[in-house]
Amino acid sequence: MRLLPIILSGGSGTRLWPVSRESMPKPFMKLAHGKSLLQLTCERAWALPGVSHAAVVTNMAYSYKTAEELMVESGAGQTTLLLEPVGRNTAPAIALSALWAEAQFGPDAVMLVLAADHLIEDQAAFAAAVADAAGLAQREGRLVLFGIKPTSPETGYGYIEYGSGIPGSNACEARRFVEKPSAAVARGYVESGNFVWNSGMFCFTVRSILAALAQNAPAVLEAARRVASRSDLAAAGQVSFDPALFSELPNISIDYAVMEKAKNVAVIPCSFGWSDIGSWKAVAEVHATDEAGNATEGNAILLNSRGTYVRSEDRLIAVVGVEDLVVIDTPDAVLVAHKTSSQHVRDVVAQLKLRGHRSASEHTTVRRPWGSYTSIEEGPGFKIKRIVVNPGQSLSLQFHHKRAEHWVVVRGEAIVQIGEQEHPTRAGEYRYIPLGETHRLTNRTDEPMELVEVQIGEYLGEDDIVRLVDNYGRASTSAS
C-alpha cells in the first residue's frame, strides 16, 4: 500500500496572535519542543510505514519558508509543495491534491490528510489508527475521519456523532456533524459517549475522494480540474497554479462539501494525545508546569501566581499575584488575557485590521526568500529598516514611485546596482537610490550581508515596489 501524506499548511492562526500572523502563521510557530508545528507534523508523517513521498499544500508566499523548514531543518524526505496563489479552504486544497496524486501515483494511492498545526503525543497510537483507516479506505473505499474522544465539553471544536461499528475495523459509521455547540450541548455530547471531536484529519483513496467530490461537490471538482489542466503536476519539488483559474475555486471546507453529504463516511474514535493548538490556553497545556501550575518560555519571573503561562521572546517579564493568565510578549506587541478568554484573541486582530495596524498581519521582522528586514523606526516622511541578505541571494530589480532610499552597509559586502551600473559596497560605505531609479541589492559572498536603509518620501508602503526582474517569481507584483 502506498500511503501519501498530504499536509495542509495554511490559515492565519489569529487566535495565537501576536506570535502567529498572516506573514508567518501558526504552522511555523515553534513550541517548547524546539521545532515548528509544521516540522513536527512532517516528522510524524514520515515515521509511518509505507511513506515514500509527501505533499505540503501552502500559500505561494510561504514557499521559501516551508522549503527551509522541511528540507533544511527537519531533513524530511521527498516532499512536493503544492502552492496556492490564495487561500480557498480545504475542499479545493484536497481536490487539487487528489488530482496531483492521481497523476503521480494513480487512483489507488491512499491519501492521509493532516493539518500542519496539530500536536499528537502518542505516535504509536496514531500509527495504529492510520493503519486501521488506510486498510478500511483501501478495502471498502471509505472516507475515514479521525475523531478524538473528548476529554471535556469543549465549545471550540466541531463534533461527530457515530453509530454502529464497522466489522474488521475500530471505525464506526458517521451519523452527523455538529459545528461548535454551546457548553450545555457539548456537555451532553460528552456524557452520551458516542460523540467525538472532529480533528480535521482524513484518510481515503484518490479514487474514492474524487468520486465523492464528483457526486457531492461537482463545482469544486470541475473548477479544480480546470486549474490542474493548466498546471505541471509532474513538476519536481513545487507545483504552482494559475492565479486567475485558482480564484474561481469555491471557498468551502471538505466537511461541508463532501463529508456531511457522503454515505460512505466512517470515523475512528481515537485517543492519541491530540491538540489542535487553537488557543493560548491550548499552548499552555502542552508545557510542563511548576507546583503552582505556571509555565514559562523565555525570560520570566512569576511570584505569588498560579496557572499562568508567560512567553517572552526578548524582554524580562515579571508577573506578580495573578491567576490563570496568558502573557505573550513579542518585539512590537504584548498580549495579556485570561485563559478562559483566549479564544477571543482573534477579535483583537479584527480590531487591528479595522484600524489598519500593521501588527495585525506582520511582525517587526519580516522574512523574505532572500533574507529579512526589520522595521526600526518610522515617522512623517521617513522609515528606517535593517536589511539582512542571505549568502548568494538577491532582491528584485525594482524601482519606487514615491520614495528615495539611502543605504549604508554595516556588515559584509553588497553589490548595489543603480541603473545599469553595479557598485561593490563594503561595511561602512554608502549608496543613494534616487526616486524612480531602478536598483537591486545582491550578496555574492558566503556570509550574510547587513545594511541600514533610510527611506524618504511622501508614501512608504510596501506596495510602492515595481519589480522588473525577480529570482522568486514575483516580478510585476506589489508584494514585498
The pLDDT value given to residue 73: 47
Q: Mean pLDDT, to the nearest integer, of 258-271?
A: 96
The pLDDT value given to residue 175: 95
The pLDDT value given to residue 343: 84
Q: Residue 69: which pLDDT band, with cuts at 50, 70 and 90?
A: confident
Distance CA 357, CA 349 (A): 9
Tens of pLDDT along 147-178? 999 998 988 889 999 999 999 999 999 999 99
Q: Is 97 helix (H, G, I), strand (E, B) or coil?
A: helix
Percentage of residues in the chain having pLDDT higher than 90: 77
**Residues constituting the chain:** 480
Average pLDDT, the chain: 92
Sequence-separated (6 or more) residues with CB below 8 Å from residue 417? 397, 423, 438, 439, 440, 441, 442
Do the beta carbons of residue 12 and residue 86 sit within 8 Å? no
Q: Is 99 helix (H, G, I), strand (E, B) or coil?
A: helix
Look at 22-36, 278-292, 386-400 and tell me which has the smallest mean pLDDT.
22-36
Q: Mean pLDDT, to the nearest integer, of 406-414?
A: 97
Distance CA 277, CA 274 (A): 9
Tens of pLDDT along 412-450? 999 999 999 999 999 999 999 999 999 999 999 999 999
Which of 201, 205, 8, 7 lies closest to 105, judged by CA?
A: 205
Instruction: Give residue limits of the domains in the chain.
Output: 3-275, 281-345, 365-469
Which stretch of DSSP H or E encloses residue 114? strand 110-115
Q: Of residues 236 and 363, which shows the higher confidence score?
A: 363
Q: Residue 478: which pLDDT band, with cuts at 50, 70 and 90?
A: very low
Task: With a cut of 50, say whether residue 254 has pLDDT above it.
Answer: yes
Q: Residue 72: which pLDDT band, with cuts at 50, 70 and 90?
A: low
Q: Please state whether the peptide bond connecting residue 424 to the residue before it is cis, i.e. omega within 30 degrees of 0.
A: no
Tens of pLDDT along 96-124? 999 999 999 999 999 999 999 999 999 99
- In which region does residue 190 sit, left (phi positive, over 0), alpha (psi from -120 to 50) or beta (all else)? alpha
Sequence-separated (6 or more) residues with CB below 8 Å from residue 234? 103, 104
Q: What is the DSSP string of 175-208?
A: EEEE-S--HHHHHHHHHHS-EEEEEEEEEEEHHH
Look at 174-183, 289-298, 465-474 and tell me which has the smallest mean pLDDT.
465-474
Distance CA 194, CA 167 (A): 17
Which of 385, 384, 399, 473 lies closest to 438, judged by CA?
A: 399
The pLDDT value given to residue 30: 86
Strand 317-320, strand 325-330: pairing: unpaired
CATH topology of domain 3-275: Spore Coat Polysaccharide Biosynthesis Protein SpsA; Chain A (3.90.550)
Q: Which amino acid type is present at position 428? A: G
Task: With a cut of 90, say whether residue 234 has pLDDT above it.
Answer: no
Percentage of residues in the chain having pLDDT higher than 70: 96
Do the beta carbons of residue 270 and residue 147 sit within 8 Å? yes
Do the beta carbons of residue 8 and residue 113 sit within 8 Å? yes
Tracing cell 480546470 back to the chain, one arrives at 226
The pLDDT value given to residue 476: 58
Q: How far is CA 185 from the centre of its chain?
A: 31
Q: What is the DSSP string of 46-94?
A: HTSTT-S-EEEEEEGGGHHHHHIIIIIIS---SEEEEEESS---HHHHH
Q: Mean pLDDT, to the nearest integer, of 232-247?
A: 91
Which of 80, 97, 83 lies closest to 42, judged by CA?
A: 80
Q: Residue 32: which pLDDT band, with cuts at 50, 70 and 90?
A: low
Distances (CA, A) of 144 to 130, 255, 471: 10, 12, 42
User: Which own/partner pairs from 232-239 qualify as long-range (CB within 8 Å, at least 24 positions apart)?
Assistant: 233/99, 233/100, 233/103, 233/104, 234/103, 234/104, 236/80, 237/80, 237/81, 238/63, 238/80, 238/81, 238/83, 239/80, 239/81, 239/82, 239/83, 239/100
Tens of pLDDT along 143-153? 999 999 999 89
Tens of pLDDT along 280-297? 998 998 889 999 999 999
Which of 388, 376, 362 lies closest to 463, judged by CA?
A: 362
Question: Which 8-state DSSP code applies to residue 359?
Answer: G
- The highest-confidence range among 59-73, 373-387, 461-475, by mean pLDDT, is 373-387
Q: Which amino acid type is present at position 174? A: A
Distance CA 85, CA 248 (A): 12
Residue range 365-469 forms a domain whose CATH class is mainly beta
